[in-house]
């Protein structure tokens, strides 16, 4: 299947230690794909799994000609895994779907229908987040409201990575090679007509979520720093206000000393004047540090991931063909270097 096949759909599935659920997942996904008019393929991106996921994927690939597999050289994180999948996925439309069955594959026909009616980005919108914890539910909403207010792009709340992207939307997103990938922001940032399809998000079918609260907090920081420099502005305005306040207070002290004579006791006021601006300075430095650290990571311009092995699947290869040579030795594919065994050994 080539990228120009007008009616082909590729499903990209990032996989990190999902051996427990992959079998059930593929069974449900395959049933849905069987019912589609379009030619479909599935690309499992093994993001450095340490369990039996690789074997399970290999088994699925043997059993279903539509299944391709892409193994990264280590765990690069879900965002990089999705990007790797998007880089390699064929098809006129690409669907991103988690392996843990939290997002029902049965929604795919509806996503495809909306794409057919002219939308480039069709995202699943969670109507019911009972499956998520209380803290996650109550913090998500204010976060997206804040993002909408401070950043220029409108990131839909209640949407995750589950979505269909048209070929041009995929090409736009993979052209953004930033290292700090706040994917939800990137989907929105590229623009194009977007549509929402409501669905109910389930609990994980097995295994466990990799999203600890610490990682969620960092995701929120990522979102803010990737899309707005507002914290830096806030820091400078806070500085202005405190400097102004302290200046006025200074005038008051001078005037009082001149008019009423020397006034030695002043421990409390000194502590306030020293500690308050000091705290604000540290906070401002911290904000600058967050941006500086990210700038440091971006300027290194490292590739987003490395590929260990890539097999597009026997449907894409044409059955009799030998294992593919992905690209000639020494060449690079869109910022990712294929260092895999297949790529080297053919």
Binding site for Mg ion (CB under 5 A): 98, 100, 102
Stretch that binds ligand UDP, among 12-20, 83-91, 150-158, 327-335 (CB under 6 A): 12-20
What does the alpha-carbon distance between residue 206 and residue 41 come to, in Å, rounded to a whole number? Answer: 24
What does the alpha-carbon distance between residue 346 and residue 339 come to, in Å, rounded to a whole number? Answer: 12
211 binds ligand UDP (CB under 6 A): yes
Q: Which residues of 228-255 are buried (b: 16+ CB within 10 A; e: fewer)?
A: beebeeebeebeeebeeeeeeeeeeeee
100 binds ligand UDP (CB under 6 A): yes
Site residues (CB under 6 A) for ligand UDP, limited to 269-298: none
102 binds ligand UDP (CB under 6 A): yes
What does the alpha-carbon distance between residue 138 and residue 79 come to, in Å, rounded to a whole number? Answer: 24
Q: Which does 94 bind (CB under 5 to 8 A by kind): Mg ion, ligand UDP, none?
A: none
- Sign of the C-alpha dihedral computed for residues 148, 152, 158 and 160 taken in this order: negative
- Specify whether the backbone of 170 is left (phi greater than 0), alpha (psi in -120 to 50) or beta: alpha
Kindly tell me which residue out of 1, 96, 99, 190 binds ligand UDP, with binding defined by CB under 6 A. 99
Q: Which is nearer to Mg ion, 59 or 206 (CB)?
A: 206
Q: Is 230 helix (H, G, I), strand (E, B) or coil?
A: helix
Q: Which does 77 bind (CB under 5 to 8 A by kind): Mg ion, ligand UDP, none?
A: ligand UDP
Q: Which is nearer to ligand UDP, 15 or 287 (CB)?
A: 15
81 binds ligand UDP (CB under 6 A): yes
209 binds ligand UDP (CB under 6 A): yes
39 binds ligand UDP (CB under 6 A): no
Dihedral of the CA atoms 176, 179, 182, 185 (nearest 10)?
Answer: -20
Q: Least Å distance between CB 96 and Mg ion?
A: 12
* CB count in 10 Å sphere of residue 287: 21
Q: Which does 126 bind (CB under 5 to 8 A by kind): Mg ion, ligand UDP, none?
A: none
Q: Which is nearer to ligand UDP, 61 or 102 (CB)?
A: 102
Kindly tell me which residue out of 8, 12, 18, 287 binds ligand UDP, with binding defined by CB under 6 A. 18
Number of residues that bind ligand UDP (CB under 6 A): 16
The size of the chain, in residues, is: 346
Q: Least Å distance between CB 320 and Mg ion?
A: 38
| Radius of gyration over every alpha carbon of the chain, rounded to an integer in angstroms | 26
Q: Which is nearer to ligand UDP, 205 or 246 (CB)?
A: 205
3-state secondary structure 55-87: HHHHHHHHHCCCEEEEEECCCCCHHHHHHHHHH
Largest CA distance in the chain: 99
Which residues lie near ligand UDP (CB under 6 A)? 14-16, 18, 47, 75, 77-78, 81, 98-100, 102, 209-211
């Amino acid at each position: 299947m080539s990228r120009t096949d007008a009616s082909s759909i590729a499903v990209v599935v990032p996989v990190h230690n999902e051996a427990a659920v992959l079998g059930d997942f593929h069974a449900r996904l395959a049933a849905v794909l069987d019912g589609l008019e379009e030619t479909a393929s599935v690309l499992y991106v093994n993001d450095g799994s340490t369990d039996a996921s690789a074997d399970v994927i290999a088994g699925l690939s043997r059993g279903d000609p539509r299944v391709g597999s892409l193994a990264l050289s280590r765990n690069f994180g879900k965002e990089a895994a999705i990007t790797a999948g998007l880089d390699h996925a064929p098809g006129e439309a690409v669907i991103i779907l988690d392996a843990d069955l939290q997002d029902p594959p049965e929604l795919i026909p509806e996503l495809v229908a909306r794409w057919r009616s002219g939308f480039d980005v069709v995202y699943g919108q969670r109507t019911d987040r009972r499956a998520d914890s209380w803290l996650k539910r109550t913090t998500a909403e204010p976060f997206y409201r804040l993002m909408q207010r401070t950043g220029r792009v409108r990131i839909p709340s209640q949407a995750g990575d589950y979505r269909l992207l048209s070929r041009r939307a995929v090409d736009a997103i993979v052209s953004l090679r930033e290292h700090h990938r706040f994917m939800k922001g990137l989907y929105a940032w590229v623009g194009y007509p977007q549509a929402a399809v409501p669905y109910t998000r389930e609990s994980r079918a097995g295994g466990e979520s990799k999203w600890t609260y610490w990682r969620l907090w960092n995701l929120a920081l990522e979102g803010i720093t990737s899309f707005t420099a507002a914290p830096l502005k806030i820091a400078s305005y806070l500085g202005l206000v405190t400097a102004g306040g302290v200046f006025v207070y200074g005038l008051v002290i001078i005037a009082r000393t001149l008019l009423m004579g020397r006034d030695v006791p002043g421990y409390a006021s000194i502590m306030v004047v020293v500690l308050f601006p000091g705290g604000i300075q540290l906070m401002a430095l911290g904000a600058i540090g967050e941006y500086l650290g990210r700038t440091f990571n971006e300027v290194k311009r490292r590739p987003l991931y490395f590929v260990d092995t890539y097999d597009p699947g026997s449907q894409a290869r044409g059955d009799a063909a030998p294992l593919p040579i992905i690209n000639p030795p020494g060449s690079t594919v869109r910022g990712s270097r294929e260092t895999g065994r297949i790529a080297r050994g053919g």
